Structure 1
């Protein structure tokens, strides 16, 4: 690689004169972030696209509750916290991280290779590419699955398990591996009981996890069973034993700031509930078949969580020269991370059919970065970018960048302290908590953008700065309210929130739109543009009357 201080160097330009990246990393997670750390430390100034549509920025560990086997963390660490630290470390060394999807890769010619991303105006060219796109959770594919997806059926216990609709209910987990056992134990913190549904006649999890599950009093393990149907119930979501608590909560936050009768409080709750109401009936039961006896049984439950494996995210490369195996994994040369295309390397679960561990993914991420560095040096490609101001290990800025998404340097602007009667300001754009939401819901004519989060939700950390960056563009035109579904469980349940993160947009006591998961800026802007345009139109119509 040439020195970045060299003058008149045209070798690091494309045919069109645009700069060529040394290495583009497609995907994040332990493989992508580790590749970024090593590439950045090698002065390669890597450009990493975290990905949104094919998975979660940060990878599968963003949906993992406790990671107990990653070296260096004697007491364990949550998946989101581990990914936040890796991401911050990569940024500390100068990696360029963008929360965006790579939508096209041309590997037919090159290097340099040509890439396009969803929210980038220009094509990107790079002398080398590291594929770290990981894998996505599999679904069962049964007939009734789609009807209940995100309405009782989920592939992420850590994202959705804290939702009030699952609190103190009977839940089920499908899967007998490490993930299935981890999720079953995790859900016992919220559920009254958890059924673990295992297709084979034994658990495949580590011995430690097997012992934990089999000894847990709130977990029942069912062997040799498969799910054949989900069944709904059109009954009321809020059980009578919670009704008094709901009334009390609503009365204390009445928009009139005075005590209300129970009937009036119920009416307020019903208004909000109707505005956010889902058309689907809640999940009531799961129907199983026993593979040994052929008999059927039904288990009453309010939620089912999948932990049945993953499919490699390689659809981007199906029509490219990059060789895939019969299951869709990227083929690599034995003992290396080299692919069938010169200058393209693969790391993590996208090329690992056997081990699929965070530590092995990180190892292959390291291999990919070092291989890319060697490739550039041996072929005289690229430019070396010398480190200017590497932050100290305890620097506050490095810690602050931990876990942030593509907010353009913007931190999550939702206030850390909930609004109260004393500090509420209706002129402000950003708010937090049920008091603010209730006041704005009843009194504001601006669109209200509500973000529902939970403390244990990794994807929520990714969405926060992205949404905050977009909210700044609409300052004074909308209200932005953050609701923690554990702190304000009644509000979340009334809104029909079955997982986090969820973004809902309200206008004049009606819900315009509801979306779940990490959303790209373009989608968020579309939601807000629609709401603001509608608010302006309704204001004009009101003025004409």
Structure 2
């Protein structure tokens, strides 16, 4: 028989946003169920050193942090489910969702915290050198490259913002772009071109990231000129891939309002989506900050928004019952 689970609060995703929502939801008595998804713990489970999460004087490990958050959520009453949702029905409450093994989940409210994945180039050395010189987040990892020669790959707003940010830590920042002009906003381009510590390499495509062997990590990036085909090697100690992110929202297309970039649209200053009773938090609705601490903050917001929604719905239901 098909297994069925019902809860006051159903949460999709188990990164900082989903687990924070679970902690607050459990403490509010909503006995949340967390469907953990393909990557339990989210992107922090593939992050090594974490130095910017508040509360820890020493460097901590991403997997350890997510393990602790999971234990905290379970301790206060949240239930973790190893499953991936493949079907949703948001046309009526309780919302009905189906896992890939056929398990059916019902939730009086739904909190979506499915996150977003950084886009990668898919070239040799990229994944092998992840955390050893190759990164997709300058705000997260730039501090580890202070005083070193660093490189950003991309041509949009994210790439330019990352390059400008890295000048806080490095006097030698290079932006590599495969075209002869940037797609970033004009004001950002002006700041980039005016900065004395940033240089741009035009018409260059990354061919591979070069491993120095042993404990050296990244030592260079091999490039191909997109006009002439000429190959070259650019020496660097940090390579930041900044070609955008892909929010995990395919499941909700046609069910929820998404913005022009595919992120779930929420009301300003809240986590409320276009469907009453459905809330979104973390990177699935945040394309600006994308930090563990901001994801956790919006997870808290989602739980509080959900609790208030249920309280109002319960009050209206009681009032209608009395009136009848």
The TM-score with structure 1 as length reference comes to 0.45
Correspondence for 1:24: 10
- How far 1:289 sits from its partner (Å)? 4.7
Match of 1:311 among 240, 246, 256: 246
Judge conservation of contact 2:94–2:107 (CA < 8 Å) in 1: yes
Q: Aligned with 1:370: secondary structure?
A: helix
- Give 3-state SS (helix, strand or coil) of 2:10's partner: strand
Q: Cα–Cα, structure 1 residues 78 and 126, in superposed 2: closer, same or farther, change >3 Å? A: same
Matching residue within 185, 188, 207 for 1:230 = 207
- Answer yes or no: is the 8 Å Cα contact 2:31–2:78 preserved in 1: yes
Find the aligned partners of 2:251 and 2:229 in 1 and give their Cα distance.
42
1:345 is aligned to 2:279: yes
CA distance in 2, matches of 1:204, 1:231: 20
Matched-pair contact (CA < 8 Å) for 1:180–1:306? no
- Corresponding position of 2:52: 69
Match for residue 48 of structure 1 among 29, 34, 50: 34
The equivalent of 1:389 in structure 2 is none
**Is 1:204 aligned to 2:140, yes or no?**
no
- Helix, strand or coil for the counterpart of 1:20? strand
Change (3 A) 1:379 1:211: closer
Q: CA deviation at 1:285?
A: 6.2
The alpha carbon displacement at 1:323 in A equals: 0.3
Q: CA deviation at 1:295?
A: 9.8
Instruction: Write out aligned runs for 1:46-195 (5 A).
Output: 46-52=32-38, 56-107=39-90, 109-119=91-101, 121-140=102-121, 145=122, 148=123, 152-154=125-127, 157-158=130-131, 161=132, 173=134, 177-179=138-140, 181=142
Corresponding residue to 1:325 among 253, 259, 262? 259
8 Å CA contact 2:19–2:299 kept in 1: the answer is yes
Change (3 A) 1:223 1:300: closer
TM-score, with length taken from structure 2: 0.72
Please state whether the residue corresponding to 1:70 is helix, strand or coil.
Answer: coil
Q: Which runs of 5+ in 1 are unaligned?
A: 1-15, 162-171, 242-283, 382-545
Which residue of 15, 21, 24 corresponds with 1:35? 21
Between the aligned partners of 1:177 and 1:110, the Cα distance in structure 2 is 42
Alpha-carbon separation, structure 1, partners of 2:88 and 2:100? 12
Alpha-carbon separation, structure 1, partners of 2:163 and 2:209 = 31
Cα deviation code 1:81-137 (max 9, x no counterpart):
222211110011121112321111111x21011101123x43211111000011001
Matches within 5 A, 1:4-19: none
Per residue, is there more strand in 1 or in 2? 2
Q: State how 1:422-433 maps to structure 2 within 5 Å.
A: none
Deviations 1:132-154 (A, max 9, x none): 011001134xxxx4xx4xx5232
* 1:515-526 aligned within 5 A: none
Q: Pick the structure with greater CA Rg.
A: 1
Q: Do 1:27 and 1:48's aligned partners in 2 also have CA atoms closer than 8 Å?
A: yes
Q: How many residues align?
A: 281
**Kept in 2: contact 1:40–1:93 (CA 8 A):** yes
Kindly state the Cα deviation for residue 32 of structure 1 after the two structures are TM-superposed: 0.4
Is the 2:263–2:285 Cα contact (8 Å) retained in structure 1? yes
8 Å Cα contact 1:39/1:369 also seen in 2? yes
Match of 1:287 among 210, 223, 248: 223
